Chains A and B, each alone.
Chain A
Amino acid sequence: MMNLWYSLVNIVLPFQWVEFTFMKNALLAILLITPLFGLLGTMIVNNKMAFFSDALGHGAFTGIAIGALIGLVKPVLAAIVFSVVFALIITVIKNKSRASTDTIIGVFSSIAIAFGLVLLSLGGSFNKYSSYLIGDLLSITPSEILLLLVVFIIIVILWVLIFNKLLLVSINQSLARSRGVKTLLVEMIFTSIVAVIVTISIQWVGLLIINSLLVLPAAGARNITTNVRQYTLVAIIIAVFSGICGLIASYYLNTATGATIVLVSGIVFFLTLAFKNKFA
């Protein structure tokens, strides 16, 4: 399957930046990750959950630390389990507690990141894991891309199934509950999806900037769209566009790919802001 992809790229994109196999792998990974980030970002921005998704990144980091501590070569599976549990706990407490959501998320987020750092620095071996902070998209392997493809398909199916309910929950929770929507369940499914994609991507994008990739495309799309369909579509387009442009730019500038993608997203965001009054 990968050979087919490599041949296709050679035919369609006869450019220098995509000559190397690792760049072809990275391009395919971007085509799988960025639409998901654009899609999920729409609800994160609407529900004012940017701080929450940032905390999920911290939870994922702790999960990786736990995975590494129990001796897994690829700690990502332990990290997925941990960050989904972490996301579910915050979601349930947020719904049941009367304390401020920001405070609850802040408490969990701080503890998670501190715990992760303590675990990974045990015995002074933190340098080995510092790549999780800034990520390395160019190191992605074909088997990891296959994992991404499976996750991509599952998330798209789940999204189609829960989208209308999720939309109503984000517009008005009591209205959704009065329609018989199990709002906590819907929120839990959504936060689990975000936790999974954030955790899987963190090794390639990096903890420090992963949240920007979720928030910026949707925030930009929100500036220039008038309905939900446009909003979702434009968020995905901005995410994919920023991903591809960021990858190309990082190749020529020799910079960190994840960070370059975020910078492109940032530029697109400010452009949409400038056009805000014309469109919406």
Chain B
Amino acid sequence: MSLINCENVTFTYEGSIVLADLNFCVERGEYLCIVGENGAGKSTLIKGILRLKNPSKGSIFTGDGLKTKQIGYLPQQTIAQRDFPASVYEVVLSGKLNSLGILPFYKRTDKEDVIRQLKLLGIEDLKSRSYRELSGGQQQRVLLARALCASKELLVLDEPVTGLDPIMTGELYDLIKKINKEEKRTIVMVSHDIKGAVMYASHILHLGKTQLFFGKKEDYVQSEIGMRFIGVEEDD
């Protein structure tokens, strides 16, 4: 069974349809990039996958034993988050919150997992640094480590490269690809950066208030909408 299966899904806000007729699935080990213009419904779909918003029509199933709480999620950064006096270690540890239950304190195994993820992403030396002092690229790595802490299987990344310069963007994409290949995590990433998406993803879902394309990356670059969208991006 697919990890995520979206069947005839429609989302509405206050009676108005914002995203209609989605039909796609994500299999274990895939790297799906969701692209589209601003207001295309990308963030709404992410909320749907995370069960933060229920579809008004259709269903989103999670399969293969995946529980929603076990989805690692990297949200778009908020101002509060950027200016929070928290250490890197504390930020990453907050990713283990779903293992807390009603207990007030984190377990030793949670703390060991945090160190493991920091090592994996090459930021162990930043452990005691204040999160707000870090560069944009370092901050995104920290948030990626936090998402990894929460995830056993699937990572959902919402615009992870926003605000990063081209070098940092490339580094972060490489890291996400490494997590996908070596750590065997399935990736669902929202991005407006179509070039990055095409270079690294295995599948593309193109939204524009509805599903304009879903399929393999190779088919997308040959499709009319793919060529048009990539062309527009390159012109920019």
Write the residues of chain A forming the contact surface with B, with a CB cutoff of 8 angstroms: 46-48, 160-161, 163-165, 167-168, 170-172, 174-181, 221-222, 225-231, 280
Cβ contacts under 8 Å, A171 to chain B: 78, 80-81, 84, 86, 91, 94
Partner of B85, one of A48, A175, A180, A231: A231
Expressed in whole angstroms, the Cα–Cα distance for A170 and B83 within the complex equals 11
23 A-B residue pairings within 8 Å (CB atoms): A46-B84, A47-B80, A161-B104, A163-B104, A164-B100, A167-B94, A170-B84, A171-B81, A171-B84, A171-B91, A172-B75, A172-B81, A178-B51, A178-B52, A178-B73, A179-B69, A179-B150, A180-B98, A181-B97, A222-B85, A226-B133, A227-B89, A231-B85
Cβ contacts under 8 Å, A165 to chain B: 97
Per DSSP, chain B at the interface is mixed
Write the residues of chain B forming the contact surface with A, with a CB cutoff of 8 angstroms: 47, 50-52, 68-69, 71, 73, 75, 78, 80-81, 84-87, 89-91, 94, 97-98, 100, 104, 106, 128-130, 132-133, 150
Known: A180-B98, A231-B85. A226 touches B80 (CB 8 A): no
Cβ of B73 and Cβ of A175 under 8 Å apart? yes
Known: A227-B90, A280-B85. A175 touches B104 (CB 8 A): no
Known: A48-B80, A280-B130. A227 touches B86 (CB 8 A): yes
Partner of B98, one of A172, A174, A179, A229: A179
Partner of A46, one of B80, B90, B128, B130: B80
Which of A46, A171, A229 is packed against the most chain B CB atoms within 10 Å?
Answer: A171
Known: A164-B97, A171-B86, A178-B52. A226 touches B129 (CB 8 A): yes
Cβ contacts under 8 Å, A176 to chain B: 97
Cβ contacts under 8 Å, B51 to chain A: 178
Cβ of B104 and Cβ of A170 under 8 Å apart? no
Expressed in whole angstroms, the Cα–Cα distance for A47 and B51 within the complex equals 24
Cβ of B104 and Cβ of A226 under 8 Å apart? no
